[in-house]
Structure 1
Amino acid sequence: MTGLGWFAAIIVGALAGWIAEKIMRSDMGLLANIGLGIVGAIVANFLLVAIVGATLGGWIGQLIVGVIGACLLIWVARLIRGRA
C-alpha cells in the first residue's frame, strides 16, 4: 500500500476486506478480510497506475482502492468457482 506502514496496511486492509465482504455479501473470516483488503489494494493500485497513471493516496484513498480491489477479487473468485 502506497505510503502506509505495515501496521496501517493491516488495519486498512482489514477494514477494506470487511467492507467488500458486506458489499459482495460474502462470508469470510478476519484473516481472509485482511488478506483480501491488502491484496485487493495492491491489485487495484497496480491497475490504477497502469491505466490512469496515478493512484489515490492516504488512509482514505487506500481504503477506497482496497475496497474496490477486494470486491474485484471476490468477483473473480466467484467466476472461477462458477458462483457469479
Structure 2
Amino acid sequence: MSGVGFLGAIIIGILAGWLAEKIMKRNHGLVTNLVVGLVGSLLGALVAGLLGINFGGWIGSLVVSTAGAVLLLFLWGLVKRRA
C-alpha cells in the first residue's frame, strides 16, 4: 500500500476486511475486519508482487487488499474445517 500513509492503510484495511466479509458471507466485527484487511493486504501484496502486478494509490490498494483478505478468509475456512 504505497503512497496511502498510515491512516489510509487503516481505512483501506477496514474497507477490505468488510468487503471480504460480505463476499465470503461471513459476519465479523470492526476490529476483526481491520485485522483481516491488514493481513489480507500483506498477503495480496505478496501475491501481486509474485505475479508481477503493479498497483498503487487508494483504488489499487483496496482491490489488492480485498483480494488478499478474501484469500485469507478462504484459507482460514479450510483450516477450520480440518480442525
Q: Same fold (TM over 0.5)?
A: yes
2:16 and 2:79 map into 1 onto residues whose CA distance is: 22
**Unpaired segments of 5 or more residues in structure 2?**
none
CA drift of 1:77 comes to: 0.5
Structure 1 segments (4+ residues) deviating >6 Å: none
CA deviation after TM superposition for structure 1 residue 75, in Å:
0.3
Aligned-pair identity (%): 43
Distance 1:68 1:26 in 2: 15
Other-structure match for 2:44: 44
Q: CA RMSD in A?
A: 1.3
Query: Could you list the runs of 5+ residues in structure 1 that have no partner in the other structure?
Result: none
Distance 1:55 1:24 in 2: 25
Q: How many residues align?
A: 82
**Cα distance, 1:20 vs. partner?**
0.6
Partner SS state of residue 56, structure 1: coil
CA distance in 1, matches of 2:38, 2:3: 13
